[in-house]
Structure 1
Amino acid sequence: MIKGIGHTAYTVKNMEKSLHFYCDILGFQKLFELKNSDDEPWIVYLKIREGQFIELFYGGKKTNEVDGSTIGYAHLCLEVTDIHEIANYLKKNGLKLDVEPLQGLDLNFQCWVKDPDGNAIEFMQMNPDSPQMKN
């Protein structure tokens, strides 16, 4: 029924910085842009791989009316082939890792970084013995 991650969406403060991060550093492809009914820039669509996308929405801040906290996903997880290779690549491109490569409780290897708007991104190298790979 569920095939995989189709996309995840973020409202960004600075589209230029976000496109640099996602396209120039992480290597995703900018596919297309959508404009709203007033013909203003609205969404930029990025391709991760066939059938998987990220939507970047221009500006604004979505907040919870009850406690004022930001509404959104906790993090985006991207599967990688080599956790140390991606960690070194990110650092080489001037990014500070929030979590250096380590093995999690699920046996997968992970490291973490934030995008220009502070959204947490987990990079995960799957372990053949992890529960995700056994199910």
Structure 2
Amino acid sequence: MPSFHRIAAALAVLLSITAAHAQSTDLNGIAHVAIRVHDLPATQAFYEKLGFEHAFELKNKDGVVYETFIKINDTQFLELYSPTEKDPQVGFLHLCFEGADLNALHDSYVSRGLTPNAVRKAGAGNLLFTLAGPAQPTFPQNIEYTQYQPNSLHTNDTGKHLGADRIADRMTSVSLAMVDPAAARAYYLDKLHFLPVAGSQSLLSLPGTSGQTVEIVPATLAPHARFTLQTASLKQAAKRLKQASLPATKSSHTLTVNDPDGNQIVLSDTAHKP
């Protein structure tokens, strides 16, 4: 019979492998929300009214700006795209998560039967891969994953463009409109190892310690985006919106304001727990 010490050693190895596998699926948090808007300058001006600054942009070969990056904090952004003849549909495009080790995350997904695209370097200089997700009402969901790299546009902007008076400084949740919310919830739980949030049938926590969530909602939200930003004071946020002549809908713990295309920005106070 195997000795006790051999059995203990084997169990320790198994637990170590299991823990490493679990950690490889952890996410640092929400990296960005991508939205296509009717008028890039007008939408940029709207977010500037909220104190968010334009960090950098990408241009096509003709020198025309097609993507603008609005900075929430050093690791979270809004990506605003212009419509094109090929892609005229405005509204929510995709949600991107930040991973600590993108290659390990990619391999972990493959080991569970998922088929993510290969890890590559994106235009801004960071590692990136994408994964087809559950059905959305507008077009197939494209889940994006990134890992910030030295000398990328994002990393080189660290400590910059952090508006001192921005209305909020952290993105905590993003809503995902789904054709079949129950099936989408099961996919995020079973395939991507998100975690249920006690008392909620719509919120799921990202794997890891970020404390951030996605909200699985019915298709009626589409094509609009909806995301939650954490603000230190709803009272001050309401004052800021009034000064900017931006109407908001108030609840006990949130203020909701719409951008020029009807995308919903939910401001939540720090004391609020979903």
TM bin, normalised by shorter chain, reads: 0.7 to 0.9
CA distance in structure 2 between the partners assigned to 1:17 and 1:61 by the alignment: 17
| Distance verdict in 2 for CA 1:40–1:74, change over 3 Å | closer
Aligned to 1:111: 255
Contact 1:64 1:70 in 2 (8 A): no
Task: Summarize the alignment of residues 60-79 of structure 1 with structure 2, pairs less than 5 Å apart.
Answer: 60-61=88-89, 64=138, 72=223, 74-79=225-230
Q: 2:271 pairs with 106, 119, 127, which one?
A: 127
User: Counting helix residues as a fraction of each chain, which structure ranks higher?
Assistant: 2
How far residue 36 of structure 1 moved from its aligned partner, in angstroms, is 3.2
| Distance verdict in 2 for CA 1:6–1:18, change over 3 Å | same
Which residue identity lines up with residue 33 of structure 2 in the other structure? T
Pair member with larger Rg: 2
Q: Does 1:14 align with 2:39?
A: yes
Aligned to 2:241: 90
| Distance verdict in 2 for CA 1:75–1:127, change over 3 Å | same
Q: Does 1:54 align with 2:78?
A: yes
Q: TM-score, normalised by structure 1?
A: 0.76
How far residue 6 of structure 1 moved from its aligned partner, in angstroms, is 0.8
Aligned to 1:29: 53
After superposition, the C-alpha distances for 1:63-116 in whole angstroms (9 at most, x for unaligned) are 837xxx88556401110000111012112101111x22x22xxxxx11101001
| Distance verdict in 2 for CA 1:58–1:74, change over 3 Å | closer
Aligned to 1:106: none
**SS of equivalent to 1:13:** coil
User: Counting strand residues as a fraction of each chain, which structure ranks higher?
Assistant: 1
Q: Point out 4+ residue stretches in structure 1 off by more than 2 angstroms.
A: 36-41, 62-65, 69-74
CA distance in structure 2 between the partners assigned to 1:11 and 1:89 by the alignment: 26
Gap runs ≥5 in structure 2 = 1-25, 91-136, 140-219
How far residue 33 of structure 1 moved from its aligned partner, in angstroms, is 1.1
How far residue 126 of structure 1 moved from its aligned partner, in angstroms, is 2.5
CA distance in structure 1 between the partners assigned to 2:64 and 2:45 by the alignment: 21
